[in-house]
Every structure is written in structure tokens, then in C-alpha cells.
Homo-oligomer: A and B are copies of this chain.
Amino acid sequence: MVDIDLHSAHRRLGATNPLIQCITNTVVQQFSANVLLAVGAAPAMLDHEADAAQFTQISSGLLVNFGTATSHQFLAADAAIEAATTHSKPWVLDPVSIGAADYRTTRIRRAAAARPTAIRGNASEIAALAGFGLGGRGVDSTDEVDAVLPAAAHLAATTGAIVAVSGPVDAIVAHIDGADQVVRIHGGHALMPLVIGTGCSLGAVTAAYLASTAEATASARLSAVVAAHAHFAVAGARAGQSAKGPGSYSLEFLDALHALTADELAQARLETGTVEGAAS
């Protein structure tokens, strides 16, 4: 049985203030930086191929997201991923835009093969990365979370990553001791997908929680990924109480992320189990 200690995860994040290098798409850089600041982490978006890897060494964690990648940014990510691996920094892959066109799909698959600590995407993206689907269209998701859990479990087994599937109910899948553990997180709000960057910034926050874990075990990492999603789920639900539309939701969400206490995070509605029908 998985033991998730959200309270400790929140306290450690606040105590460590991890520096998260985001090699991410330009659409969501501002929002992701604000989200990282709101939860108590420090953002740095530098992605020059000449020095990205050097910066990875002083960072606490890394996010890679190729949504608007240039050839330069692909090179920077290659170097940063290698540095993260060499120096044992946790790193998160967001496969956004997989399946949208061949070139980027190839690059995203190559990154996934480099053994990320965690992979976070919506149902369509996870299915596509696992080889079970065609990918989404931009930030959309056309598959349902539960339907792709076998794909997520397969991906977790083959890459060694914790695999997080975002949706109305998020599901985090980890292959631990030969079993496909799944933790579902309830919360969020219908307006959340109407604010660009709520998915992409969750990848950054996942890196931040991973960077502040005490141990590098699979179950500590599962806890960290769950904590990141729970932080979004609880704050996202609260933001929905006062928002009048996607514009006000965006700011209420940042306020709620920042105001959330460890005690409130610990109230997140989690469900644990194992993935049924997993092929792995």
C-alpha cells in the first residue's frame, strides 16, 4: 500500500525553495514562473544551448516541454537532460504536442527514452507516448484518464518514470515492486482547462516537489508527484468558488496556490489502488 504524506511534502517544498530550470514553451513561461513562485519554488527559464547544461548543475530540478521548441531549445534540452542524469537531478518530461507532427514526436520520444523521473501529460499525450494513441491537438485531450491507465502503466514500466495523467480526476501511476500502483486525485474545476498553462505549469510544480523529496526512492517520488497534483487540485477547486470566468479564475488560482497550507493540502481527496488490465 502506498503511503502518501502530503503534509511533509508541503513543508519540505517551503523549506527547500527549490530552483527549477524550465526548458518550456514560450506560451506558458510567464504563467509557469508565477505558479512556481506561488507554491514556494524559484523559476529559471534559461534555455540557451551553450549554457543550459551548466545551469542544470546548480538547479534543483528540471522541466522539459517542447510545445514551441526551436532547434536551439531542442539542443539545450538534450544537454540539460544529460546533465540532470549525470548529477542525479530529478527531471520531468511534458510530452505536449506529441503526435501533432513527426519531427517533434521523434524528439519527444527520444527525451522519454532518457529516463525522466516523471512524465506528465493529458490522457491523449500519455497514450500517444506509450504508443497506444495518436496524441492530442495542442492542449486538448480527447481520451479519458481511466481509459489510458494501461498505457500509463506500460510507460511507467518501460521508462522507469512516475507517470501522471491529468484530467477531471488526475491519476498518477508508478511501477513499484512489480505492481502498477495508481493514485487518483479529485479536485480542480471546469474552468481550469480554459486557462493556458495550467497543465504545463503542473509539470514545473511536479519537478519542484520532486526536487524537495528527502529520498530518491520510487515511493518518495510517487508521493512528490501526488503532492504536486493535490496542490493544484485543492487550489483549483477553491479558485473556482470565486471565479466568474477564465480570466478571474487565472488570478484566483495563483492566489489559492500561494495561500494553501500544509494542513489544507493534507485534506486532498486521494484514492489509491492498482491499475487493472495493465499489459506490463
Chain A contacts to B: CB under 8 angstroms = 19, 25-31, 33-34, 37-38, 42-48, 50-52, 54-55, 58, 67-72, 97, 100-104, 137-140, 193-197, 244-248, 250-256, 258-259
Sample (7) of A-B pairs whose CB atoms are under 8 Å apart:
A27-B29, A38-B245, A45-B68, A48-B68, A50-B101, A245-B254, A247-B250
Q: What is the minimal beta-carbon distance from A125 to any residue of chain B, in angstroms?
A: 13
**Inter-subunit contact A139/B51 (CB<8 Å):** no
B residues near A254, Cβ cutoff 8 Å: 245-247, 250
**Inter-subunit contact B244/A137 (CB<8 Å):** no
**Inter-subunit contact A259/B245 (CB<8 Å):** yes
CA distance A244 to B140 in the complex (A): 31
Q: What is the minimal beta-carbon distance from A55 to any residue of chain B, in angstroms?
A: 5
* A195 and chain B: residue at smallest CB distance: B34
B residues near A37, Cβ cutoff 8 Å: 193-196, 246
A100 touches which of B55, B250, B252 (Cβ 8 Å): B55
A101 touches which of B30, B46, B72, B140 (Cβ 8 Å): B46
CA distance A69 to B100 in the complex (A): 22
B residues near A250, Cβ cutoff 8 Å: 34, 247, 251, 254
Which 9 A-B residue pairs are closest in the complex by CB-CB distance? Answer: A247-B254, A245-B255, A51-B101, A247-B251, A44-B138, A33-B196, A50-B103, A51-B103, A54-B101
CA distance A248 to B42 in the complex (A): 19
**Inter-subunit contact A253/B258 (CB<8 Å):** no
B residues near A55, Cβ cutoff 8 Å: 100-101
Q: What is the minimal beta-carbon distance from A73 to any residue of chain B, in angstroms?
A: 8
B residues near A42, Cβ cutoff 8 Å: 137-140
* A104 and chain B: residue at smallest CB distance: B51
**Inter-subunit contact B139/A104 (CB<8 Å):** no
Q: What is the minimal beta-carbon distance from A108 to any residue of chain B, in angstroms?
A: 12
B residues near A193, Cβ cutoff 8 Å: 37
**Inter-subunit contact A44/B196 (CB<8 Å):** no
CA distance A194 to B36 in the complex (A): 9
Q: What is the minimal beta-carbon distance from A193 to any residue of chain B, in angstroms?
A: 8
A44-B97, A46-B67, A248-B252 given; 12 more Cβ-contact pairs under 8 Å: A19-B137, A26-B45, A27-B33, A27-B45, A28-B30, A34-B247, A37-B194, A38-B194, A38-B245, A42-B139, A245-B254, A251-B251
